[in-house]
Amino acid sequence: MTVESALEAVLDRMQREERPSISFELTGAELTRMFGRVLPHAATDVDPDAVAAEPLLYVHIEATPESLRLMATDRFTMAVTTWELEYLLAGDDSAPFTLALRAAPLASTLATVDAGETYTLTLTGGAYDSDDDGGSSGLTIRHPSGLSVHLSSAWVPINWRSVLAPALAAPQTLDESGILVNPHYLARFATAADGGGTPLVMRPAGEGKPIIITCGTHFLGAVMPMTPSDDARVDIDSALSYWRSICDRAGAPWMPTS
């Protein structure tokens, strides 16, 4: 082996190590479904001066040759899902790596995919930069026609495990007066279902802690409960009293008689 060829081999290995990547195939429907589980939970608007809020605008990906783990949160809700890779084309020897894709352009791109087409996806890690030339770290989605779009990655890590671990370890409790949840936040979890009737399972973890939500094996979520004022608490309690009085009325004309 010549010095030149040895140097080329070293540089090639360094480049592979700096930019680990995996490629796999998904249909448009699978692609939309995969990201659709977490996209509703990414923030759409944050204070531009709040640096700490920047990661909330991204979908965070942990990539391995076997699966992807995706996470998004806007502080009020959080979703994490695991997607197993069945049609892996390359990247069996890639070490696990992480990416963060801006949620807004990702959602816009997904809106253009054809559900019945099969796309080639390549995730590339390594050095983070702002160049959107298709060679930087990020996600490249290639159509069968050869046309492709590249979404660059950013370095905005969120340690979501440290957020969910305490709630997962907490004992389950149930407030007799009920659990208050913003219905708009709860609606985001509609995308977690697989269409086969798999239920959402909600587990309260205690006062001031997030409500843990699971759907099947590969979806984990959390939503923060609402804390009502004293006046609102009276209204909440009175609702049960009202409906108990309605349901306990004997002889209502619409009730069947024995």
Question: Which pLDDT does position 7 carry in this prediction?
Answer: 43
In contact, 17 and 50? CB cutoff 8 Å: no
Which residue numbers in the chain have pLDDT < 70?
Answer: 1-18, 48-51, 127-135, 173-177, 230-234, 246, 249-258
In this prediction, residue 250 carries a pLDDT of 53
Question: How is residue 201 written in tokens?
Answer: 């399972």
Q: β-strands 219-223, 67-73: how paired?
A: unpaired
**């249909």: which residue's tokens?**
27
Residue 135: per-residue pLDDT: 54
**pLDDT confidence of residue 136:** 81
Name every residue whose Cβ is closer than 8 Å to that of residue 38 and which is 6 or more positions away in sequence.
59, 70, 71, 72, 79, 80, 81
pLDDT at 227: 80
Q: Is the pTM of this model over 0.85?
A: no
Token output for 158? 């969120």
Neighbours of 59 (CB within 10 A): 23
Residues 6+ apart with CB under 8 A from 163: 73, 78, 210, 222
User: What does the radius of gyration of the chain's CA atoms come to, in whole angstroms?
Assistant: 24
**Which residue is it, tokens 């352009």?**
105
pLDDT at 126: 78
pLDDT at 41: 96
